[in-house]
Structure 1
Amino acid sequence: MATLRFDLAASLVVVLVAVPLSLGVAMASGAPLAAGLIAAAVGGIVAGRLGGSPVQVSGPTASLTVVVAGLVQTYGWRATCLITVLAGVVQVLLGALRTARAALAVSPAVVHGMLAGVGVIIALSQLHVVLGGSPQYSALANLIQLPGQMLDMHGHKVMVGVLAITVLLVWGRLPKPVQALPAPLAALLVAAGTAWLFRWDVTRIDLSGAVTAWAPPELPHGDWHQLAVAVLLVALLAGAESLLCCVATDGMHTGPRADLDRELSAQGVANMTSGLLGGLPVAGVIVRSTTNIRAGARTRWSAVLHGVWVLLFALCLGWTIKLIPIEALAALLVFIGVRTISLGHLKKVHGHHEVPVYVLTMAGVVLVGLAEGVLGGIALAALLALRRLTRVTVTKDAEPGGGVRATVSGSLTFLSVPRLTQELRAIPAGTAVLLDLNIDFMDNAAFEAVHSWRLDHERLGGTVTIDELHDEWYAMAASGRRVSRAKTPPRLTGRWRLPRPPRRPGESAGGEAHPLAPGAEESHRSTAPLGRPHAAAEPARNQPAHLFITCADSRVAPDLIAGGGPGELFVVRNVGNLVPRAEPGAPADFADAFADDFADDSVAAAVEYATRVLKVHTITVCGHSGCGAMAALLSGPAATAQLPRLHRWLRHGESGLGGLGDGGPEAMLDELGRRNVRRQLDNLMTCPGVAEQVGDGRLKLVGLYYDVASAQAHVVPPPLPDAPGTDAEPSPR
């Protein structure tokens, strides 16, 4: 009951978004408008109560409009309802078989391309409605007929549609209190009110008796093969969108993580219920879920209550919907369709060289069909992945004394044999060759090629020394031992980070001057050549894009956590990954910003230099599990009584102590470590110039929490408003 007030408030916000969107999706799908409200109510009550995500909100989704519209046109509405029921049965079975994780294997480029294609189709079809006409049978036909439709525009209908789009465009620029009313609802209210006030000739919506005029689903007539494909298509698309929405929302809240198999089964039950009641297919919707989280939802009861409000609205206030012009709903759909073509998604896939997958999927969905476009995108993604997996790089560098170091990187398969043979045979005869195999797989054809070249090279007076940096693929094949068919992780040797582990005190050093000397010598031989090309590219330039603030703990390796190479990270390490806070009224100059008794100018200097000189794009604060500094804070002042400087330094982490849960020492330590990351991000915002750069979009602050046992880093989400413990007073030391 402690969270009910948060969930109740959030449900009221979500229902304001859900009602207009549900009506719009139903109209674009060619289904009865009441079907959208039925699906919204069922998605909230059934999927919300049974689902595996505590904050996800389900309902009719725009991504299925193309499929549903095709089904309604082919089989009729009541038969489409039965297809929805059968799709729900398939989802329940898939959830029971625990196959939910498999849906996440689909490339995001395919998903975003599909959504963009659906957005184009929706925008083109509904633009005809905004202009006072009717949508055509395909996206291409809508595009061809659009110029003629624009020449024959209907005045009042166009005006109300343009007015709705204008409200949607400017709403985000209005003051925050005004934006408390969701933009879709505001657009419909303004359009409806203006049309009523000036008595414009527009098309009205009428739901009178629509909710109570229920008829059972009927058996579709047609080829059962096509019916099976339709059922699978609805089940898989709705299920995939729900699971991807689950994964996205997990990173936006601090509550329990989603159970994907339970969520998939719940979506199946919701679709069975929605189809039986005459509603649209149901899926998790990212817009409603995001709104739910931002409105402060804590548990699944927010989604359930939202469904109850939608049901009450349909039963008791359905008569008010007749005031809404259909052209305004169409304008809302045009806006939503255009918004799905996100440049942000295109930038992300461009960074992974997957733009062709995105473009092919979008074009296939628009020009051919949704299933064909998705299958084409998946096929292209698979081909590109195969090409990357079989890509091999061969570099050759001269060694002192006339030798050659050849480094082969990648997966050695029969596809790489021509390139590999060409590069190796170009090495002059009689040369001393050090061949570094930095590979994760070698098949028999590749082994035969390398082994044959080696024998020929040595027969002509040269020497070949083979050094394998990971598993000994070549050595095992040469000895006749069985080679594993699957890729294996690299061996955890001392060369994982250092060329070899340093000796500990008491071990024999063999007369060497320093315990790290053997590691340095091995680094010069094996590791330095791999990093030399990066260092030689721009030896005098120090221009990292990221400032990385982390703990001094020896188990935390910033380059490995962030996946950065030489020159990519500007690193600051201190005890507890702390950032001293600039108090209100402190001087704007960095030299005086931390001039109290417990100041630490090194952190301030690093932030100043990184933001003003290096112009970094991100600042990351990374905490970790089992942190000694956090343990000292939990233990109280006595733990650092004999360490006065450490005692003073840890004051910068005390603000996270208040309101900790009582889940045992390990849980409290883990919670404090994550909370400390958030606190230090808040402290960064007090540094001169940081808040301004964040507000302008030039700088992004990121929180990470590194689990030492699993060697995995997790993003620490920002604290939600009014989250328990976020405003607690620090405990005195």
Structure 2
Amino acid sequence: MAGLTVGVVALPLALAFGITTGLGAAAGLTTAIVAGLVAAVFGGSHVQVSGPTGAMTVVLVPLVARHGADAVVVVGVIAGLFVVVASALRLGRLLAYIPWPVIEGFTLGIAVIIFLQQVPAALGVATPEGENTAIVAVRAALDALDHGSFAALLLVGLVVAVMVLAPRLHRSLPASLLAVVAATSAVKVVGLDVATIGALPSTLPAPSLPAVDLGVLGGFIGPAFAVALLAAIESLLSAKVADGMVDGPRHDPDRELFGQGLANVVSPLFGGMPATGAIARTAVNVRAGARTRLASVVHSLALVAVVLAGSDLVAEIPLAALAGVLVVTAMRMVEVHNIRSILRSTRSDAAVLGITAAATIVFDLVVAVEVGVAVAAVLALRQVARTTALAETPVPAEVDPEDEESLLHEHIVAYRIDGALFFGASQRFLASLSQVADVRVVILRLPDLQVLDATGAHALGEIVADLERRHITVLLKGPRPEHERLLRNVGALDHLASEHHLFTDLDAAVAHARLHASGAGHDPTCRPPSPRAA
């Protein structure tokens, strides 16, 4: 029953996504059948439902416009192989490294693009030429002023109304199918003159490979990578959402990548297009009671029955009705509470969200993810760099602690370095320590230093060298073993006046500091450090 339910929900979406890409309704239906079946059997989730999605159309529309339908087959197969290789390399868990604002940002951008893609069909005009979705939508709106169809706009309104109201009457109602049936019936009863899907094949096509010039294959690597990235991200996100909805075994991310990769290799060969795990259909599947792969398999078989027995009925569906379905789908993709939460969190996260969404709309998904992750990484490093603290700490006194005058004349100062000392914080650290004056000995306490990289170690070496040139003795207390190795490897410890100026005990460091500060100084143990010193 769950499989039949999700099959009913998937039918109008599969038709709509196929038409939107420019490949036709049959391609969308074939994708839902073939990719849905292959991913259900070989994927890593027990309840995932795969097929054509709006996010994938965002990548495929410009590809079809530029290279034609045959390019989708080549790109799909290459992308599928990329995902299978990612599975073999066990990259499925890398999704955790994509920040939440980046995911929400490109989801928002995808939703905007899907909405704009429906403008020509919703206004009843032919899709103008062009690759930028926003420009095409504007051109379609201008064309509609003279050649638009008010009937198409009314049908979109009817579909939107039914899809919004039906779930309020009963949650389990297949709102998208009811909306399409209502719109198709209205066209027949009133006799509206609107474009329809048209004839569909009554059988599944046989697998075939297009004739492709091997010399142009290199030009398809970029789009194939975009398709592979999207297939992996959206499928793993959907599977992760499904894990939270059902009490059962969690998905295997690497097996899920294998199943999705195989589905993307097979689907284009049958005349379909690249597919991903579909969050909306997976959620319907779970809510309808699915607990095993059988439900996803039945979903594909139900769509096979539509091809074999219902192709004549499907041919009468108006294109404007499918546009209305995708308009609502785009609106439901945007999780308003998530967007609001990110905007209220920090300015950095809000900036990542906005930049990623804008890059998705203006450029493409791969650029959006790259830019979003890069911006998030830079802002995160900036935040980590701010956690680096240089705090002056009291020096244990041998004299009466109430006698501040005697402490002042010791000319010894100790600093504790906390947090992370890496390339993002090294310059601020250098500027802070360079202000040290009127002292004879500086003790740098390093046990609380959490992160140290080569740049930070080099900066530490520079400040030691600078202080030693100013006849200020530098003592280091307690770097971690891994940090000490790094300091030695970059030569930072070579700037110490003696290899004995490295301590594990603060009291010993203070005693040695007093030896220098008292003028008794040049302790016999002081000799230039050996690079081989342990």
TM-score by length of 1: 0.58
Question: For residues 102 and 390 of structure 1, what CA distance do their matches in structure 2 show?
Answer: 24
Letter in 2 for 1:290: A
For 1:674, the equivalent position in structure 2 comes to none
Question: For residues 87 and 481 of structure 1, what CA distance do their matches in structure 2 show?
Answer: 43
Counterpart of 1:423 (choices 425, 429, 432) is 432
After TM superposition, list the pairs within 5 Å mapping 1:177-188 onto structure 2.
Answer: 178-188=170-180
Letter in 1 for 2:134: L
The answer as to whether partners of 1:33 and 1:207 remain within 8 angstroms in 2 is no
For 1:157, the equivalent position in structure 2 comes to 152
Question: For residues 414 and 457 of structure 1, what CA distance do their matches in structure 2 show?
Answer: 25
For 1:223, the equivalent position in structure 2 comes to 216
Question: For residues 244 and 143 of structure 1, what CA distance do their matches in structure 2 show?
Answer: 29
The answer as to whether partners of 1:156 and 1:200 remain within 8 angstroms in 2 is yes
CA change 1:428–1:129 in 2 (3 A) is same
User: Following TM superposition, by how much is the alpha carbon of 1:226 offset from its aligned partner in structure 2, in angstroms?
Assistant: 0.7
The answer as to whether partners of 2:9 and 2:176 remain within 8 angstroms in 1 is yes
1:138-185 deviation per Cα after TM superposition (whole angstroms, max 9, x unaligned)? 22313533552453442211111111112233344x23xx23112222
The answer as to whether partners of 1:81 and 1:280 remain within 8 angstroms in 2 is yes
User: Following TM superposition, by how much is the alpha carbon of 1:191 offset from its aligned partner in structure 2, in angstroms?
Assistant: 2.0
1:84-127 deviation per Cα after TM superposition (whole angstroms, max 9, x unaligned)? 23332333333233332335433343333223222222211212
CA change 1:476–1:66 in 2 (3 A) is closer
Counterpart of 1:296 (choices 289, 295, 300) is 289
1:392-443 deviation per Cα after TM superposition (whole angstroms, max 9, x unaligned)? 4336578796798865433212442331133345567459989576322224
Question: For residues 205 and 255 of structure 2, what CA distance do their matches in structure 1 show?
Answer: 33
CA change 1:219–1:236 in 2 (3 A) is farther
The answer as to whether partners of 1:44 and 1:303 remain within 8 angstroms in 2 is yes
Q: Secondary structure at the match of 2:315?
A: helix
Higher fraction of helix: 2
Question: For residues 100 and 398 of structure 1, what CA distance do their matches in structure 2 show?
Answer: 46
For 1:441, the equivalent position in structure 2 comes to 451
Q: Secondary structure at the match of 1:366?
A: helix
CA change 1:464–1:458 in 2 (3 A) is farther
User: Following TM superposition, by how much is the alpha carbon of 1:318 offset from its aligned partner in structure 2, in angstroms?
Assistant: 1.9
Moved more, 420-429 or 231-240: 420-429
Letter in 2 for 1:337: A
Q: CA RMSD in A?
A: 3.3
After TM superposition, list the pairs within 5 Å mapping 1:306-321 onto structure 2.
Answer: 306-321=299-314
Letter in 1 for 2:57: T
1:59-106 deviation per Cα after TM superposition (whole angstroms, max 9, x unaligned)? 111111022222222332234224323332333333233332335433
After TM superposition, list the pairs within 5 Å mapping 1:592-631 onto structure 2.
Answer: none
CA change 1:477–1:90 in 2 (3 A) is closer
Counterpart of 2:85 (choices 84, 90, 93) is 93
For 2:357, the equivalent position in structure 1 comes to 362
For 2:520, the equivalent position in structure 1 comes to none
Letter in 2 for 1:284: G
The answer as to whether partners of 1:81 and 1:276 remain within 8 angstroms in 2 is yes
Question: For residues 432 and 447 of structure 1, what CA distance do their matches in structure 2 show?
Answer: 13
Q: Secondary structure at the match of 1:227?
A: helix
Q: Secondary structure at the match of 1:298?
A: coil
Q: Which has the higher contact order (CA 8 A, sep 6+)?
A: 2
Question: For residues 260 and 179 of structure 1, what CA distance do their matches in structure 2 show?
Answer: 30
CA change 1:158–1:395 in 2 (3 A) is same
For 1:169, the equivalent position in structure 2 comes to 164
The answer as to whether partners of 1:84 and 1:272 remain within 8 angstroms in 2 is yes
Question: For residues 436 and 358 of structure 1, what CA distance do their matches in structure 2 show?
Answer: 37
The answer as to whether partners of 1:238 and 1:282 remain within 8 angstroms in 2 is yes
User: Following TM superposition, by how much is the alpha carbon of 1:358 offset from its aligned partner in structure 2, in angstroms?
Assistant: 2.6
Question: For residues 351 and 194 of structure 2, what CA distance do their matches in structure 1 show?
Answer: 42
CA change 1:421–1:398 in 2 (3 A) is same
Question: For residues 423 and 379 of structure 1, what CA distance do their matches in structure 2 show?
Answer: 28
2:239 equivalent to 1:246: yes
Q: Secondary structure at the match of 1:323?
A: coil
Q: Secondary structure at the match of 2:171?
A: helix
For 1:25, the equivalent position in structure 2 comes to 17
Question: For residues 278 and 477 of structure 1, what CA distance do their matches in structure 2 show?
Answer: 57
Counterpart of 2:113 (choices 118, 121, 139) is 121
Counterpart of 1:50 (choices 38, 42, 51) is 42
Counterpart of 2:420 (choices 405, 411, 429) is 411
2:125 equivalent to 1:133: yes
The answer as to whether partners of 2:124 and 2:144 remain within 8 angstroms in 1 is no
TM-score by length of 2: 0.77
Moved more, 102-111 or 44-53: 102-111
The answer as to whether partners of 2:9 and 2:281 remain within 8 angstroms in 1 is yes
Question: For residues 69 and 467 of structure 2, what CA distance do their matches in structure 1 show?
Answer: 70
Residue segments in structure 2 that go unaligned for 5+ positions in a row: 395-400, 408-412, 492-534
CA change 1:288–1:422 in 2 (3 A) is same
For 2:496, the equivalent position in structure 1 comes to none
Letter in 1 for 2:431: Q
CA change 1:345–1:231 in 2 (3 A) is same
Question: For residues 370 and 450 of structure 1, what CA distance do their matches in structure 2 show?
Answer: 44
Q: Secondary structure at the match of 2:125?
A: coil
User: Following TM superposition, by how much is the alpha carbon of 1:272 offset from its aligned partner in structure 2, in angstroms?
Assistant: 2.3
2:353 equivalent to 1:343: no
Residue segments in structure 1 that go unaligned for 5+ positions in a row: 1-8, 484-733
CA change 1:265–1:195 in 2 (3 A) is same
